[in-house]
Chain A
Amino acid sequence: NAGVTQTPKFQVLKTGQSMTLQCAQDMNHNSMYWYRQDPGMGLRLIYYSASEGTTDKGEVPNGYNVSRLNKREFSLRLESAAPSQTSVYFCASSATGRSFGNTIYFGEGSWLTVV
């Protein structure tokens, strides 16, 4: 059972370059999320998707776009990378509902450096 799988694990980008972080979950969850975590800081929500076909902005959406490709996959795209986007990115998923509680399951993280 892989859970939440995200790629790549590490990436170095030059300012202005674009890239896509890929994420897939095999738990049949409806909701998926992208967070960023900066050194010594908490988790800030970038975008989330409550179900296939829907996406909503979180706290810090500027500079990012997302695609909920199907129920399993949720990608995050940086169109023109900036040094301020240097961070660790976590993809996550959850199954909402009274019997599930909305526990969020996280991937292992993607370390992105923009130079």
Chain B
Amino acid sequence: GENVEQHPSTLSVQEGDSAVIKCTYSDSASNYFPWYKQELGKGPQLIIDIRSNVGEKKDQRIAVTLNKTAKHFSLHITETQPEDSAVYFCAGGYTNAGKSTFGDGTTLTVKP
């Protein structure tokens, strides 16, 4: 089955700096890669996703890049703000069926 590894496990940045979280996956058939944000005491929520036919996707201050050859994808957050502090999960899966496999999460702390 799919195996997703996520790094780093913790990340601390100054407000205004950029943050990058990286994930690798094992199954070359995976074609859907979402990122979730989990705030304290809540369930994870989708913040951005990318499909395997696209190399990059942006949504305001967040972006995701995908390298299918190397089987890795990354989340980029620019101009970080304190409200970006949360746990972020990557996942790998399939658009048309089956369950996604989650990484172990990255705890991002943005210092004001």
Q: Which residues of A contact B (CB under 8 A)?
A: 4, 31, 33, 41-43, 45, 48, 50, 58, 90, 92, 96-98, 100-109
Residues of B within 8 A of A101 (CB): 32, 34, 49, 51, 95
Q: A102, B89: Cβ atoms under 8 Å?
A: no
When distances are taken between beta carbons in the complex, the residues of chain A under 8 Å from B49 are 101, 103
- How many residue pairs bridge A and B at CB < 8 Å? 67
CB-defined contacts of A31 to chain B, threshold 8 Å: 99
Q: Establish whether residues B96 and A90, one from each chain, have CB atoms under 8 Å apart when the complex forms.
A: no
B97 contacts A100, C-beta separation under 8 Å: no
Tell whether B43 is near chain A: CB-to-CB under 8 Å.
Answer: yes
B interface residues with partner A (beta carbon < 8 Å): 6, 32, 34, 36, 41-46, 49, 51, 89, 91, 93-100, 102-105
Task: A107 to B89: give the CA distance in the assembly, Å.
Answer: 16
Within the complex, what minimum Cβ distance (angstroms) separates A71 from chain B? 17
Is B43 in contact with A106, judged by CB distance below 8 angstroms? yes
Given A102-B94, A107-B43, A109-B43, A58 and B99 contact (CB-CB distance below 8 Å): yes
Q: Which residues of A contact B103 (CB under 8 A)?
A: 42
* Whole-angstrom distance between the Cβ of A86 and the nearest chain B Cβ: 17
Given A106-B44, A106-B45, A107-B43, decide whether A45 and B34 contact each other with a Cβ distance below 8 A: no
CB < 8 Å neighbour of A109 from B36, B42, B95: B42
Which A residues touch B105, using CB under 8 A? 41-43
- Residues of B contacting A92 in the complex (Cβ-Cβ under 8 angstroms): 43
Residue of A4, A45, A58, A104 ringed by the most chain B CB atoms within 10 A: A104
